[in-house]
């Protein structure tokens, strides 16, 4: 799907090149480094989160929650996020 394709493009883009581009545009500063690292790693974190969420969404307790009438927000915040968050 579209999200997977976008994440593949972001992961394939060299992080060092992105960091150099950000520093060239914004100047050398701590915030430029933070922005470069954050943008560079966001695709990896998003892909991992997506994989874990898809795995949790296939569990039987999610089916039970849907059957009992739990809404989308209740499933995400009550079941998916607590099961993919690091302890």
Tokens of 18: 């992105």
Please, where are the H alpha helices in 1-87?
A: 2-12, 15-26, 30-57, 60-67, 72-75, 81-84
Q: What is the pLDDT of residues 2-60, one digit of tens each?
A: 888 888 888 887 888 888 888 889 888 888 888 888 888 888 888 889 999 999 999 99
Provide the residue ranges of all domains of the chain, joining segments of one domain with +: 2-84
Q: How confident is the model at residue 66 (pLDDT cuts 50, 70, 90)?
A: very high
Q: Give the pLDDT of residue 87.
A: 61
């Amino acid at each position: 799907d579209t999200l997977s394709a976008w994440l593949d493009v972001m992961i394939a883009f060299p992080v060092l090149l992105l960091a150099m581009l950000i520093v060239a545009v914004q100047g050398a500063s701590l915030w430029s480094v933070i922005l470069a690292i954050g943008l560079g790693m966001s695709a990896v974190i998003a892909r991992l989160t997506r994989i874990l969420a898809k795995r949790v969404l296939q569990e039987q307790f999610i089916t039970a929650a849907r059957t009992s009438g739990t809404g989308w927000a209740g499933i995400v915040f009550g079941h998916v996020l607590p099961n993919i968050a690091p302890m």
